[in-house]
Structure 1
Amino acid sequence: MPQEFKKQYKEILEKYILRQTEHNLYEGQNISRQLIQKNISPEEVISIHKASLEEIMSDLPEEVWHSFDLLIEVMVRYGLALKEHQTLIQKQQNIKMEMELAANVQQTLLKTKVPNLVDLDIGMISVPAKEMNGDYTHFLHDSTHVGIAVADVIGKGIPAALCMSMIKYGMDSLDGAETNPVIVLDVINRIVEKSVSDSMFISMFYGKYDTSKSEFTYASAGHEPPLFYCSESSSFSELQAKGLLLGVIPNVKYEQHSIALKKGDFVVMMTDGVTECRSKEGFIEQQTIMDIIENVKDQCAQEMVEYVFHKLEELQDFEQRDDFTLVIFKKV
């Protein structure tokens, strides 16, 4: 410990004991900067204080000097805990910066463009609950077809993002938007099964709209069934299709079905962040979600998905617990 610092501290302490002015306190505050710069621990400060006080007021009772020994022991533990706390905070800040960087990379890598078709209105919204998005949406399209993949990783964070990159790789390897949904799921499943850990599973829905037939063809790998709204009957129904989650086994037989879309009909595709929304009273029922969608059935598809998100956000007291993805194909 530099002797000049001990001498400086003793002078400040002596002045404060004699005068106790605001200026004396200010001098004490300024010296704290030197403590940080010279990396002087709390227990060392107390030792300096005790030594200085012994020179200034040597006639203090012995019990007072013993109390400083106790305080030094307390500060030893406190100093160690403080250093651990500061180290933890620094690690958390580093992790946060890495997560933000990874999230930006994910957004760039998995970005997809919503196609613009004459007779099909498309709306999409995908909002992550945290930095990394465990949901994935990807469009394929040409002059007569538009394909839509909606996937959800069972897991969060960077591992989930890496799984999504495998799906992105698989989607980019496909020939085009006219590829049948069962073939798409088969290709993606084989890639995921070979490349992803056994502890990570992915549900995925793939649908293809044919503009020449106004026909929507779809298949599912254990994903949330979409809702089909029939304008003629003003009713909803689920588009069920059996199929195992991606990545479980290499050979899976998926079901494929088709449905004709008439003007005003629409298909609502989603992840479980929509169907498993919770309010204080419990899970929000499917009928409530359907009622919310039907309230805006006459609006454009993008306005519909945004309205549904904000309405469900409101019902959850603005506490989003899971990634939220919603896509609507609306025949116009």
Structure 2
Amino acid sequence: MKHTYSRSFATRLSIYVLSFTLIVFATIMGLFYKYSHEKVTNFAIERTHSLLNNITTEITSQLNSVETTINQSIWVLEKNIEQPDSLHNIITSIIKNNPLIVGSGIAFVPDYYKEKGRYFMPYVSFRNNKIAYQVLGSQNYDYLHMDWYLIPKMLKQDYWSEPYYDDGGGNIIMSTYSKPLYNNRGELYAIFIASISLSQFTDNISALKPYPTSYTYLLSRNGSFLTHENRSKILNETVFTEAFSTENHAQEHIGREMLAGQTGTMHIDNLGTDSYAFYTAIPGIGWSICTVCPSKIILQELDSTSRKIIYTFLTGILVLFIIVYSIICRLVRPLKRFSESAREIATGRFDVTLPQVHSKDEIRDLHDSLAYMQKSLSTYVNELKETTASKERIESELSIARDIQMGMLPKIFPPYPDRNDVDLHAILKPAKEVGGDLYDFYMDGNRLYFLIGDVSGKGVPASLFMAITRSLFRTLSHQVLSPAKIVTEMNNSISDNNESNMFVTLIVGILDLETGVMKLCNAGHNPPILILPDKHVSFMEFPTQIFVGVIEDFTYTDAEITLEKGSKLFLYTDGITEAENTEKELYGDDKLLEVLSANTSSNVRTTVDVIVSSIADHVKEAEASDDLTILLIQYEPEEKTVK
């Protein structure tokens, strides 16, 4: 028989080793990735916030420089306040001295200079690399109602305006710093302004890319985009516009945090892309700046490194598998040869030569064990052959003994087909090959001599004792009219030299077929059952007498009864009432009486067959524990049926 080794021991062991290695590696790799993920994320947060802090510091510094420039120019303005036409020199110097300022002007209260009219706002701007001077203020450019004028006037403090598009002065998107000026009486007489272009921040903020594909935007104090990678959103959308339209609560939360001047980091879904948002506030102006970066970009290097490690490990695993498999195959190669030797030994070739083993390990132990098994099997098979031959011989002898034993008993039924005054039927089923139960009967004129007995023990000794008992019955009962005398003589013969201390229970009876008188002697046997013509069924009562073969010279006595015509005598051994099922429940006297009572009208053969079938239904799969013997006699049956 050929075997395939696609699932050999070497393959399975190699797979187990490598599987365990993979599990350990996967566990370590998982812990490494989790730890590294946390470290990389924390580094990204620290790095990005550091960059944001740098740019907010730079923006704050630039805004402070604008405020400082205005504040330092106030004294020059106040000194030349009486010469309105010379004011343009002051604001021109402001433009020249601070490159951040793209426009500066002084918006006077209405009619401050009567000769200048209601509006008077000298304004200098820097455009196209040139400084331009103009006087603003008219019905079309009513600065008195502009935020950069009204709010500082009402608040009575410096103010940075919300970004706006100045189409009258700078004609660009700008934010204006407003400084209210008061005279000695505390009355407001002008708003001194300096405007900066937001385009100056765009380049710096757009250049803030901590990671590729990340972007940064700047928010005003009301949430409008001042800078954004999508320029169409600048001053046209707020941070909440997109959050409300897509029901992105995380982005809405970020907007609220930024407007509140908070600093933080949040993991968000940015238009379907898993991202991180890093935000912080710009002090003093109410603006906030935020950098958005996809998570995969932050973890890109970690993922790339992890993949390289995994690919390298898998390549190593493949090489390791080949090496381990080769080593294990070399180590277990003797096992294959031993397996082939074991199969040959199993076919009976005990002289097969085992492979030589030079190592001193478990393989050597296996070699020694197989060698010992060879020797033991050879010895065992030889002994088994002898035992089998002996068993077959014993079984043959037992079969012969059984045939001899059963041949001693009457087994032709009905035994007296030419007589109408008696009918009987008997059965004997040994529990083993041979048994110790017996029955016998014969006719002597008009007298029916009958016997039923049960020898103590089972098997061959009981069968020999049974044969002796039956022979004594035939020898001693001839022309004897007393069953008690027959039993007494049998007891004396058996008790003499009974070194085995075996005994037999007996019922010996003589039935006179002319008168119906029946004499019985019961030597310790189960009481027979009498079935009367009126269908009454009952046990017969006898005085207690000792077993045959126990005490020599014991005198037995007879019991006498006259049978009515049609009466039946049911004799049996204890194998009937003591038959056990698998639950160790006995068949019992009550069950026997019940079945006999239900079959009082049946002939003797049918009645015996019904009893045997009832016992078989009770016992079922249980092993027979004792011999089964029945002898049923009917005196002058009303109808004789020959089968």
C-alpha distance in structure 1 between counterparts of 2:426 and 2:568, whole Å: 13
Matches for 1:201-212 after TM superposition, within 5 Å: 201-212=503-514
For 1:173, what is the secondary structure of its paired residue? helix
The structure-2 alpha-carbon separation of the partners of 1:254 and 1:62, relative to structure 1 and needing over 3 Å to count, comes to closer
Q: Please say if residues 227 and 268 of structure 1, whose CA atoms lie closer than 8 Å, have aligned partners that are also in contact.
A: yes
Q: Please say if residues 422 and 633 of structure 2, whose CA atoms lie closer than 8 Å, have aligned partners that are also in contact.
A: yes
For 2:355, what is the secondary structure of its paired residue? helix
The structure whose RCO (Cα within 8 Å, separation 6+) is larger is 1
Match of 1:12 in 2: none
Match of 2:487 in 1: 185
Matches for 1:140-219 after TM superposition, within 5 Å: 140-174=442-476, 176=478, 179-194=481-496, 196-219=498-521
Match of 1:106 in 2: 405
Displacement of 1:50 in angstroms is 2.1
What letter matches 2:374 in structure 1? M
Match of 1:282 in 2: 585
Displacement of 1:188 in angstroms is 1.2
C-alpha distance in structure 2 between counterparts of 1:69 and 1:218, whole Å: 73
Match of 2:370 in 1: 71
CA deviations over 1:265-300 (Å, ceiling 9, x no partner): 211111111121223251122111011112221111
Match of 1:9 in 2: none
C-alpha distance in structure 1 between counterparts of 2:511 and 2:619, whole Å: 33
Matches for 1:43-54 after TM superposition, within 5 Å: 44-45=351-352, 48-50=353-355
Match of 1:22 in 2: none
- Of 296, 307, 325, the match for 2:610: 307
Displacement of 1:113 in angstroms is 5.7
227-236 or 111-120, which deviates more = 111-120
Q: Please say if residues 301 and 330 of structure 1, whose CA atoms lie closer than 8 Å, have aligned partners that are also in contact.
A: yes
For 2:519, what is the secondary structure of its paired residue? strand
Matches for 1:219-258 after TM superposition, within 5 Å: 219-232=521-534, 234-258=536-560
Match of 1:295 in 2: 598
For 1:151, what is the secondary structure of its paired residue? strand
C-alpha distance in structure 1 between counterparts of 2:445 and 2:630, whole Å: 24
Larger radius of gyration: 2
What letter matches 2:375 in structure 1? V
CA deviations over 1:41-70 (Å, ceiling 9, x no partner): x3x42xx2426xx8xxxxx97758734244
The structure-2 alpha-carbon separation of the partners of 1:253 and 1:175, relative to structure 1 and needing over 3 Å to count, comes to closer
Displacement of 1:153 in angstroms is 0.5
Match of 1:91 in 2: 390
Q: Please say if residues 203 and 246 of structure 1, whose CA atoms lie closer than 8 Å, have aligned partners that are also in contact.
A: yes
271-280 or 170-179, which deviates more = 170-179
CA deviations over 1:131-151 (Å, ceiling 9, x no partner): 102111111212311011101
C-alpha distance in structure 2 between counterparts of 1:210 and 1:305, whole Å: 23
C-alpha distance in structure 2 between counterparts of 1:104 and 1:196, whole Å: 26
Q: Please say if residues 226 and 269 of structure 1, whose CA atoms lie closer than 8 Å, have aligned partners that are also in contact.
A: yes
What letter matches 1:94 in structure 2? R
Percentage of identical aligned residues: 21
Q: Please say if residues 50 and 65 of structure 1, whose CA atoms lie closer than 8 Å, have aligned partners that are also in contact.
A: no
Match of 1:7 in 2: none
Displacement of 1:317 in angstroms is 0.8
- Of 571, 576, 597, the match for 1:269: 571
C-alpha distance in structure 1 between counterparts of 2:452 and 2:521, whole Å: 11
Q: Please say if residues 227 and 239 of structure 1, whose CA atoms lie closer than 8 Å, have aligned partners that are also in contact.
A: no
Q: Please say if residues 217 and 256 of structure 1, whose CA atoms lie closer than 8 Å, have aligned partners that are also in contact.
A: yes
CA deviations over 1:44-101 (Å, ceiling 9, x no partner): 42xx2426xx8xxxxx977587342443234333433444344333332222122112
Q: Please say if residues 501 and 550 of structure 2, whose CA atoms lie closer than 8 Å, have aligned partners that are also in contact.
A: no
What letter matches 1:133 in structure 2? G
The structure-2 alpha-carbon separation of the partners of 1:322 and 1:177, relative to structure 1 and needing over 3 Å to count, comes to farther
Q: Please say if residues 476 and 490 of structure 2, whose CA atoms lie closer than 8 Å, have aligned partners that are also in contact.
A: no
The structure-2 alpha-carbon separation of the partners of 1:237 and 1:109, relative to structure 1 and needing over 3 Å to count, comes to closer
C-alpha distance in structure 1 between counterparts of 2:480 and 2:620, whole Å: 42
Q: Please say if residues 182 and 255 of structure 1, whose CA atoms lie closer than 8 Å, have aligned partners that are also in contact.
A: yes
1:329 aligns with 2:633: yes
Displacement of 1:257 in angstroms is 1.1
C-alpha distance in structure 1 between counterparts of 2:391 and 2:599, whole Å: 43
Q: Please say if residues 141 and 177 of structure 1, whose CA atoms lie closer than 8 Å, have aligned partners that are also in contact.
A: no
Displacement of 1:248 in angstroms is 1.0
Q: Please say if residues 229 and 236 of structure 1, whose CA atoms lie closer than 8 Å, have aligned partners that are also in contact.
A: yes
Alignment: residue pair count: 291
C-alpha distance in structure 2 between counterparts of 1:284 and 1:212, whole Å: 37
What letter matches 1:50 in structure 2? P
C-alpha distance in structure 1 between counterparts of 2:438 and 2:449, whole Å: 14
The structure-2 alpha-carbon separation of the partners of 1:185 and 1:71, relative to structure 1 and needing over 3 Å to count, comes to same
For 2:450, what is the secondary structure of its paired residue? strand
Displacement of 1:226 in angstroms is 0.5
For 1:259, what is the secondary structure of its paired residue? strand
CA deviations over 1:199-247 (Å, ceiling 9, x no partner): 2111110111111111221011111111112333623132324321111
* Alignment TM-score, normalising by the size of structure 1: 0.77
For 2:426, what is the secondary structure of its paired residue? strand
CA deviations over 1:156-194 (Å, ceiling 9, x no partner): 111112112222321232353662111110121122112
What letter matches 1:255 in structure 2? T
214-223 or 109-118, which deviates more = 109-118
Computed over aligned residues only, the root mean square deviation of the Cα atoms, in angstroms, reads 2.9
C-alpha distance in structure 1 between counterparts of 2:493 and 2:376, whole Å: 53
Q: Please say if residues 531 and 600 of structure 2, whose CA atoms lie closer than 8 Å, have aligned partners that are also in contact.
A: no
